[in-house]
Amino acid sequence: MSVPIKGLIDAAEVLWPTAGAEGWDAPGLVSGSARQQISRVLLTVDVTSSVLDEAIDGAFDMVISHHPFLMRGVTSLSEQTSKGHLISRAVRAGVSLFAAHTNADIVQNGVSDVIAKAIGLANIRPLVESSPGVGHGRIGTLPEKMPLGELARRIAKVMPSTATGVRVSGEFTQLVQTVALCGGAGDSFIGDAISSGADVYMSSDLRHHPVQDAREYALTQGTGPAIIDVSHWASEWLWLDVAANQLSEKFPQVQFVVSQLRTDPWDFVITQ
């Protein structure tokens, strides 16, 4: 049994409306034909050569990724380039590529929403709301206060393991209850986390100066969130199971499989 890609595109538009994507984003069908029939779909955060190997070896017709493979402009798809080499292999193998990115970040049961539920938050709502229940990031409360270090341990257990682990700026024993978060790169929302009154803000790819400024603000003003930084890939990988289940309910005749390959780019760290 199979369905045309067009049916999946229509279903994705209901789950993750492209109107919600950022202007710089490029979600949707990256390569392939809307008329192509699909029966096996592989879900991943990133499209890499190892993920494509898995798709080809596993006879998958399509890869759904969180990150669009062609998000920034390219001037050539020559196989002498990494992008061209992978796209050419995918086309020859009949593997179509599709992405749901920032449009899947902001919705209910989207990337940030899944993280908030996974770490046990209640009263979950968007950190920056664009419409009721929809918006960037999430904020919610733990059932009771807990030490910041214990929350970091909980997050580490919930997310897949990575070389960089979970980094924390704050006192291990300080008590926290209101948690703001954003899956993926989220230091642009640190100011919103401060304004929200959250005890802690968790995101990925957090840069030195924004974090330092936030912590200095907390020290000088006597209020402000502790900061937790996690792997970009790990924070978004949690959503894949939810997305696969949502699509399986709509297309029970299609097999949706979440790739277990780690596409986090960091392999090891060295400390003294």
Other beta carbons within 10 angstroms of residue 139's beta carbon come to 25
102 touches 28 (CB < 8 A): no
Q: How far, in Å, CA of 254 to CA of 243, rounded?
A: 13
Taking residues 69-79, what's their average pLDDT?
82
pLDDT above 90 for 47 = yes
pLDDT above 90 for 221 = no
Smallest CA-to-CA distance from 90 within 44, 54, 43 is with: 54
pLDDT at 1: 78
pLDDT above 90 for 81 = no
22 touches 105 (CB < 8 A): no
pLDDT above 80 for 69 = yes
Taking residues 261-267, what's their average pLDDT?
96
pLDDT above 90 for 101 = yes
pLDDT at 72: 79
pLDDT above 90 for 77 = no
Q: How far, in Å, CA of 203 to CA of 137, rounded?
A: 9
- Strand 96-99, strand 3-4: pairing: unpaired
Q: How far, in Å, CA of 19 to CA of 27, rounded?
A: 10
pLDDT above 90 for 160 = yes
Taking residues 108-116, what's their average pLDDT?
98
**Residues 226-240: tens digit of each pLDDT:** 999 999 999 999 999
pLDDT above 90 for 104 = yes
Q: In this structure, is the dihedral angle defined by the CA atoms of residues 247, 40, 24 and 228, taken in order, positive or negative?
A: positive
Nearby residues of 232 by Cβ (< 8 Å), 6 or more positions away:
184, 185, 204, 205, 264
Taking residues 184-202, what's their average pLDDT?
96
Nearby residues of 88 by Cβ (< 8 Å), 6 or more positions away:
77, 79
How distant is the alpha carbon of residue 245 from its chain centre?
16
Q: In this structure, is the dihedral angle defined by the CA atoms of residues 121, 116, 199 and 227, taken in order, positive or negative?
A: positive
Q: How far, in Å, CA of 44 to CA of 64, rounded?
A: 6
Mean pLDDT lowest for which of 73-77, 153-157, 201-205?
Answer: 73-77
pLDDT band at 99 (very low <50, low <70, confident <90, very high): very high
Nearby residues of 21 by Cβ (< 8 Å), 6 or more positions away:
27, 101, 102, 103
Show the CA angle centred on residue 175, arms to residues 165 and 140, nearest 5°.
75
Taking residues 157-180, what's their average pLDDT?
97
pTM of the model as a whole: 0.95
pLDDT above 80 for 73 = no
Taking residues 24-35, what's their average pLDDT?
96
- Strand 62-65, strand 40-44: pairing: parallel
pLDDT above 80 for 173 = yes
